[in-house]
Amino acid sequence: MGDPVVKLTLLGNGSVGKSSIIARFVADGFEKQYMQTVGLDFFEKKLQFPRDQRVVLEVWDIGGQNMTSKMLDKYLFGATVIFLCYDVTDAKSFADLDDWLHVVPTSSKRLCVYLVGNKIDLRHLRVVSLDAHNAFVKKHALHGGFLLSAQSGDNVLRSVHQIAARAIGVELSEYELQFYDAPVVATVVDTADHRTAIADAIEAEDLRLEEAKQKKRAKRANCAIM
């Protein structure tokens, strides 16, 4: 009998930094996999916890897809954990979470949903308060919430290991979790419009992905006409 598999899927608006969060996972030794049956990529790593308990964690990123994408069902099928992601400096990304909740499967009793606020390194630009974060978790009876930074790495690995352990019934102690901590590095904003390089890079990447998708769709349409 193999190790249990935990499938983690990240949902949220295109500019909240989901791919950047996953990049932190990949840097920690996740391997890219390909599921031929659905034609999707995901990242995988075997995690080991105290008392020789192991789990295979699969991380799936929907990229820049929106809530009406026909591909969402494939990403969400069989999910064990969902990270509902928003940008703490972007009020709209937080407001849109109510809509994202509508695409979360409700039939699975073993599905755990967590609220995740990204970009906490941008403290002086934060517009979504901790109270609002906690109120959302309570209102929708989520399994919990995390605040992290894909830029600095703060709380990323800790959160991932904690939810993976919980998914197999293991509660890591504070002492055990501290080994996954990374120091907080504040990002200084010095541009006139209060943007940061990492925010611009994330948006630029999202824009490139969208342009590539549009070109691909246009090419297919031209081929169909011919």
For 7-64, what is each residue's pLDDT tens digit? 999 999 988 999 888 888 777 655 566 554 444 677 888 998 988 889 999 988 777 7
Those residues whose C-beta lies under 8 Å from the C-beta of residue 200, and which sit 6 or more positions away, are: none
Q: Which CATH superfamily, name and number, covers 5-179?
A: P-loop containing nucleotide triphosphate hydrolases (3.40.50.300)
| 201 vs 115, residue with greater confidence | 115
pLDDT in tens, 123-172: 999 999 999 999 999 999 999 999 999 988 899 999 999 999 999 999 99
Q: Does the model's pTM come out above 0.85?
A: no
Helix axes 197-225, 18-27, angle to 10 degrees: 110
* Range of lowest pLDDT (35-44, 81-90, 98-107): 35-44
As a whole number of angstroms, the distance between CA 94 and CA 64 comes to 16
Query: Concatenated DSSP letters for 99-146?
Result: HHHTTS--S-TT-EEEEEEE-TT-GGG--S-HHHHHHHHHHTT-SEEE
Is it the case that residue 110 has pLDDT exceeding 90?
no
Average pLDDT, the chain: 81
Average pLDDT (95-100) is 96
